[in-house]
Homo-oligomer: A and B are copies of this chain.
Amino acid sequence: MRISELSTQTGMTVPTIKYYLREGLLPEGERSSPTQATYGDKHVERLRVIRALLDAGVSIAETRRVLTALDEPPEHSYDLLGTAHAAITPPLDVALDLNEAERIVSALGWKPGTCDLAVLNEVARAVEGLERAGFVVPDAVMREYLASMRRIADAEIAGVPTESPEAAVRYVVLGSVLVEPLLLALRRVAQQVSSWERFGSEG
């Protein structure tokens, strides 16, 4: 199909599609003449993924890295998550102290070598943000965070499809990124329901 049909089918404007082409997010179509290219179903599919990532707040640069991870699956299954996470994790900040982060995540079953430094670094960054604001997570709440995240991860990893590397990569990469807004929104709903149950009768 031509770019105009691609636009009709996806609901995205031609300038937007051309922008994604220029940014290297969408692969070029097949040249049918010096000024025209034809596009296929894989372009429709790719545009959907691009839109979902950008709508989820993923930057253009991160989206490019996620798409590269989708196109070039790593050799080993256990590298999948590292690749997905690397695509959406800011670069290492060597100034951060990882000791406190290591202490916290040891409750997740973490041991040296079982996760990327970049992800551990994200924990350290989050902990530092809380400390800087003078916010202390009560021990009982932190224990629930750790236990819940471990259960969630176990369920997610048990659900990784094994029929093809492509399906596994897609599940892991998109599941990591796109599920984040859902989890945060569910937490807020649960907080309101729980708060209503505890304090609602005071109203």
Contact = CB atoms under 8 A, between A and B. Distances in A.
Interface string A84-102: 0100010000000000000
B51 A196 contact: no
Given A159-B138, A185-B122, A150 B190 contact: yes
- Find the residue from A109, A157, A171, A189 having the highest chain B CB count within 10 A: A189
A88 to B, nearest CB: 9
A48 B15 CA distance: 43
A127 B178 contact: no
B129 A186 contact: no
Interface residues on A, range: 35 or more
A2 to B, nearest CB: 23
Contacts of A196: 78, 114-115
B109 A154 contact: no
B157 A195 contact: yes
A196 B176 CA distance: 16
Given A49-B133, A125-B185, A199 B153 contact: no
Interface in A134-156: 134-135, 137-138, 140-141, 143-156
A200 B109 CA distance: 14
B157 A116 contact: no
Interface of A: 45, 48-49, 51-53, 55-56, 76-78, 80-82, 85, 89, 104-105, 108-110, 114-116, 119-120, 122-123, 125-127, 129-130, 132-135, 137-138, 140-141, 143-160, 170-171, 174-176, 178-200, 202-203
Given A76-B203, A85-B188, A104-B186, 15 more contacts: A56-B129, A76-B199, A76-B202, A78-B198, A109-B190, A122-B188, A135-B170, A135-B174, A141-B159, A143-B155, A145-B152, A145-B186, A150-B190, A153-B191, A176-B191
